[in-house]
Structure formats: structure tokens, C-alpha cells
Amino acid sequence: MPHVRIETVCHDALVETIVSAVQQAAHTGLRGDGKIYIAPIDEAIRISTGERGEPAV
């Protein structure tokens, strides 16, 4: 069975909305539906401009 890995970065306010959407879309009721990990992102840097923090997102 093929596997898919999805990674996303979002604002804290959107975490629960995104988690809910992924759970609904990925749930088959069978073992192996996957896992969701939530981790903080300490810094964002836009390579092309050097912007840091919120403007880089």
C-alpha cells in the first residue's frame, strides 16, 4: 500500500482547523490511517530576501 507524507506550517490559530480536516480526509476506520504530529516552529527565514519571522511566512 502506498504511503503519503504531508508536512505543513501554519499559524497557531489554524492548527485545530487543519488537524480536523486531515483527520476527516484520512480516516478510513482501518489500522494504519497515520498520525498527526504538531511541533512549534521557532523561526522562519525567506531565503530569497532574508526576511525573518512573520514577514517570511
pLDDT 10s digit of each residue in the chain, 57 long? 688 899 999 889 999 999 999 999 999 988 889 999 999 999 999 999 999 998 888
| Angstrom distances, CA of residue 23 to CA of 3, 9, 16, 26 | 16, 17, 10, 5
Per-residue confidence (pLDDT) for residue 45, from 0 to 100: 96
pTM of the full predicted structure?
0.75
Phi, psi at 52, each rounded to 5°: -125, 155
DSSP SS3 for 9: coil
How many angstroms separate the CA atoms of 38 and 28, rounded? 21
Residue ranges per domain, the chain?
12-56
